């Protein structure tokens, strides 16, 4: 079985997010960029399936600027077999990302595609579901447990009310939630080896997809600042404040 894993390069989850001066975007100068944490989990799951003998090849794919090669190299160092970069300097919408991934899926014919449930930059939580729609494949989103028996994939997923278990026959799409697994770190020799693994670069314009944005960003602003609170010094004072000042209890 061939597995395709989509990975995005994003601002590191522990970096401080600052809106740029002209309120058109987020400051990325001197900010650490990393693989989207959900995508690390997606890749880890694919690696584990390969280690169980259930997958023969893992392809990592990213859509982004030329620097996203670093993210792909990290994926190769972690154990993916080869990488594809669809290069673009545009900030593409999830629909277009899904359309591009669809093109590559038709070419590569993976049986399983694993994506993070959301990227921590736009928090959109759309791409996996959209790709599943375009391929007319079943989708098991927000996965916290995956088991595969022959062609049958069983996925436990996190839903608002608790946990739900679904199953589908390959091919299909899984999007990952945080509790699916804990990703490994790349070992130094593997980082060296990753440099010689194949990484194909495809220009985004060559895939026959209309990349023009359908939505226009008017502004990006920092959220309103909460008024500064106070420290209270005892439980009695806290109860008093909640009763008589905030009037919430």
What residues between 159 and 218 interact with ligand FAD by CB under 6 A? Answer: 178
Rounded to the nearest whole angstrom, what is the least distance from the CB of residue 40 to other proteins in the complex? 14
Contact call for residue 121 and other proteins (CB under 8 A): yes
CB-CB contact of 12 with 33 (8 Å): yes
- Calculate the CA dihedral of residues 46, 52, 55, 58 and round it to 10 degrees: 40
Contact call for residue 214 and other proteins (CB under 8 A): yes
Rounded to the nearest whole angstrom, what is the least distance from the CB of residue 14 to ligand FAD in the complex? 7
CB-CB contact of 138 with 157 (8 Å): no
Q: Closer to other proteins at the Cβ: 7 or 177?
A: 177
Name the β-bridge partners of 34. 10
The listed partner (other proteins, ligand FAD, none) that binds 217, CB under 5 to 8 Å by sort, is: other proteins
Contact call for residue 37 and ligand FAD (CB under 6 A): yes
Cα(57)–Cα(50) distance, integer angstroms: 7
What residues between 12 and 51 interact with other proteins by CB under 8 A? Answer: 13, 17, 19, 26
CB-CB contact of 168 with 138 (8 Å): yes
- Calculate the CA dihedral of residues 9, 184, 58, 180 and round it to 10 degrees: -90
Q: Closer to ligand FAD at the Cβ: 12 or 108?
A: 12
Contact call for residue 32 and ligand FAD (CB under 6 A): no
Binding site for ligand FAD (CB under 6 A): 13, 37, 120, 178
């Amino acid at each position: 079985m061939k597995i395709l894993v989509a990975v995005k390069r994003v601002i590191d989850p522990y970096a401080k997010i600052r809106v740029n001066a002209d309120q058109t975007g987020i400051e990325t100068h001197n900010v650490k960029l990393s693989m989207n944490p959900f995508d690390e989990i997606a890749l880890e799951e694919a690696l584990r399936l390969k280690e169980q003998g259930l997958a023969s090849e893992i392809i990592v794919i990213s859509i982004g600027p030329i620097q996203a090669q670093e993210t792909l190299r990290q994926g190769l160092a972690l154990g993916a077999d080869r990488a594809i970069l669809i290069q673009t300097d545009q900030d593409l919408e999830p629909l277009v990302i899904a359309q591009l991934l669809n093109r590559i899926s038709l070419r590569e014919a993976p049986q399983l595609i694993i994506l993070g449930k959301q990227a921590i930059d736009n928090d959109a939580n759309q791409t996996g579901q959209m790709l599943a729609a375009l391929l007319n494949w079943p989708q098991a989103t927000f996965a916290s447990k995956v088991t595969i028996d022959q062609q049958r994939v069983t996925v436990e997923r996190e839903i608002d009310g608790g946990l739900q278990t679904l199953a589908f026959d390959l091919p299909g799409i899984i999007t990952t939630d945080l509790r699916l697994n804990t990703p490994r770190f790349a070992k130094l020799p593997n980082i060296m080896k990753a440099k010689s693994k194949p990484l194909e670069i495809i220009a985004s314009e060559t895939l026959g997809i209309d990349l023009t944005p359908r939505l226009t960003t008017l502004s990006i602003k920092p959220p309103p600042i909460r008024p500064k609170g106070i420290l209270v010094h005892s439980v009695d004072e806290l109860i008093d404040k909640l009763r008589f000042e905030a009037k919430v209890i």
